[in-house]
Structure formats: C-alpha cells, structure tokens
Amino acid sequence: MFLGLACESAFRGTPPPRAHLDALWEKHMLAGSFVVLTVDGSKTTGSEKHPDSLVDPKSEVPIYPSGMSHPISILSEGEGLFGTGGWILAGGLLRRISDGPVTIEIYGKRVIRRFPHFPFPPHSSGPEETGYEFFLLHRKSGSLGRVIRKWVFLPEETVIDKDDQSDVRCIFQYDSVNKTAAITLRGLKRPFEDRVDLLAILGSSKPGENDWGQGE
C-alpha cells in the first residue's frame, strides 16, 4: 500500500492533457447544446440535455451541473495507479438576455484538477483544486455563438472555505440601450468587475433610458 501511495503522489505534478476536453466543452457552448459526458480515451459516452425552451437559467446559481438547468459537464479520469485522477470541466449557461434577434449569454466553467489518490473510502473524490473560466457570448437566432470575452481564474485566486471548497458566482447585467455588458464575480480573493462595450458588434439603439437586464 505504501508503494501505491508513493506512486500516486508522484503524479501530482504531471497533469494529463486537457486541450481536447476544453475544445469539446467549448464546442457545445458555441452550439448551444447541453450535455453530461464521460471521456475515456477515444470513447465518449453520456447524454444530451434538452431544457424547456421557456426555462431560463437561474440567476447566480452555483456552478454545479447537478443544479443547473443548462449544464455542460465533461469528466475524464483514468490517471494514476488506481485510475482516480483526471479532469472535470463542469458548468454551463449561467444567464442569457435577449436583445432583438440576438442573445447575450454568459457561461461559467469549473476546471477541476482531480489528483490521483488511493480510493478509500470508496467513492471519495480525493484531493482536488478548482479554477474558473467565464465566457461572454453573443448569438444570433439559429447560429453558432461567438465568444466576445473570456476570463480565467486560477485555483489560487479563489476563496477556499472550511471544507476546502471554492464557490465563485457571477452577477451579469446588460444595458440594451448602450450595448454594454457588466460582470461581477463573488468568491475570489480580490473583487472583480468588468464592463464590455458591445456597440461595435451589435449596433446602436434609439436614445432613451438605460434598460438593464440583470442576472443576479
């Protein structure tokens, strides 16, 4: 057993490739499809989700696919002596706001590095670290989405609670008059806010009062 534990600890500094998993996750994001998948080498299994078209994502929900109405989740394990290490890319659509024929969307993704570990007690997740990525998209009806802005936060930038977990949440606002998107994140060590001018992409509206669509 001690030999097994020593072998597992040696894997902690050598994460397996992740680029193909990110590409698959973002492919579904751009297509506007929602899935829960397991990737094992060249084999991908799982299911596609079909949220009710009248149901919009809940505001400021935790980024856990089990509690999300529009999830994208990809699990890839098999690393290490016991096959318990790997990656989990978990998240999905957090909020969307319509502006004529276009929707402005915000997606969130938890990037979970699960380290190889001895599987005891059974079904325990073992040691992990979690980073976050957020994507601002716009999408015309019937078309693939287009990424306007991407934000990446490493595990060391997040607040860790007493259970050794992080919980970064997003507040999203959109001003349909001035074509400005605003994102605020909670759960990071430092406050984070950003505004994105979408006027060049979406064009102007008639002058008037600010019309904020809010995702808090």
pLDDT in tens, 53-103: 656 675 556 666 666 889 999 998 766 556 567 899 999 999 999 998 899
In degrees and rounded to multiples of 5, residue 117 shows phi and psi of -155, 160
Whole-structure pTM value: 0.83
For residue 188, count other CB atoms closer than 10 A to its CB: 14
Q: Which amino acid is at 53?
A: S
Q: SS3 of 99, please?
A: strand
Per-residue pLDDT at 11 exceeds 60:
no
